[in-house]
């Protein structure tokens, strides 16, 4: 990078803001650093959104995300975190990719009725990652996104609302339904594992 980085602290948010500032000024090394910083996070996020079928297109999608970051860095308005902005780009590209690759209407028909009762919270199954991953893959894209962004990327509802371009209350509603659905899915997967 051409300038000395004034942000040699351990504050990732300040570092990301500095890298984006350098990218605005055409610094390719800053883009490479941001790419390396985000590749693992974007990989996890996109795989959870797209499912296993997205594995092959993952490197291309991440490159597309970073291409948009490079070309649109000047449009970042700093009212949100850099991470929220990048995950928003990734989510929109994943939706675009998925709509051209899959007929996913059937995924959106899986709704949980209000009468669903669950005796055990799904968070207790976080240690059984295989079971949790299978359950998450059976959620709708919107529900996978709120679970991934909240629990695996540590974002707040307000940040997720920015990423998903919807009101914060919509994010809360999606999280409620996602949790309910996860509880049912995990219970079903556990019983099929025991009987199978």
Task: Give me the tens of pLDDT residue by residue for the chain, a chain 196 residues long.
Answer: 544 455 555 788 999 999 999 999 999 999 999 999 999 999 999 988 888 777 888 888 999 999 999 999 999 988 889 999 999 999 999 988 876 654 333 333 333 322 233 333 444 545 567 788 888 989 999 999 999 898 888 888 999 999 999 999 999 999 989 988 988 898 888 888 777 6
| Residue entry with tokens 């609302």 | 161
* Domain, as residue range, for 81: 9-103
Same domain, 95 and 116: no
Same domain, 86 and 17: yes
Dihedral sign computed on CA atoms, order 153, 78, 159, 91: negative
In a domain, 4, yes or no: no
Instruction: Fill in the DSSP letter of residue 3.
Output: S
Of the candidates 90, 98, 108, the residue with the CA atom closest to the CA atom of residue 50: 98
What six digits make up the tokens of 127? 């240690």
Domain tally, the chain = 2
- Integer angstrom CA distances of residue 17 from 35, 48, 70, 119, 164: 14, 26, 14, 44, 21
Q: Which of 56, 75, 103 is the last residue of a domain?
A: 103
In a domain, 168, yes or no: yes
Same domain, 16 and 95: yes
Same domain, 62 and 135: no
Of the candidates 17, 57, 58, the residue with the CA atom closest to the CA atom of residue 37: 17
Q: What pTM did the predictor assign? A: 0.63
Using only C-alpha atoms, the chain has a radius of gyration, in whole angstroms, of 18
């Amino acid at each position: 990078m051409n300038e000395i980085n004034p942000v040699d602290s351990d504050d990732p948010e300040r570092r990301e803001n500095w890298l984006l500032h350098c990218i605005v000024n055409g610094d390719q090394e800053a883009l490479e650093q941001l790419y390396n910083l985000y590749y693992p996070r974007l990989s996890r996020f996109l795989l959870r959104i797209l499912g296993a079928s997205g594995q092959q297109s993952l490197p291309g999608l991440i490159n597309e995300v970073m291409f948009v970051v490079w070309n649109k860095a000047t449009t970042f308005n700093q009212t949100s975190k850099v991470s929220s902005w990048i995950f928003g780009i990734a989510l929109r590209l994943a939706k675009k990719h998925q709509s051209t690759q899959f007929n996913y209407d059937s995924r959106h028909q899986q709704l949980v009725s209000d009468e669903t009762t669950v005796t055990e919270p799904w968070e207790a199954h976080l240690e059984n990652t295989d079971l949790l991953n299978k359950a998450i893959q059976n959620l709708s894209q919107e529900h996978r996104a709120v679970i991934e962004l909240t629990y695996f990327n540590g974002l707040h509802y307000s940040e997720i609302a920015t990423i998903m371009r919807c009101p914060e209350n919509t994010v809360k509603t999606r999280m409620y339904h996602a949790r309910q659905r996860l509880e049912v899915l995990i219970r079903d997967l556990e019983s099929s594992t025991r009987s199978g």
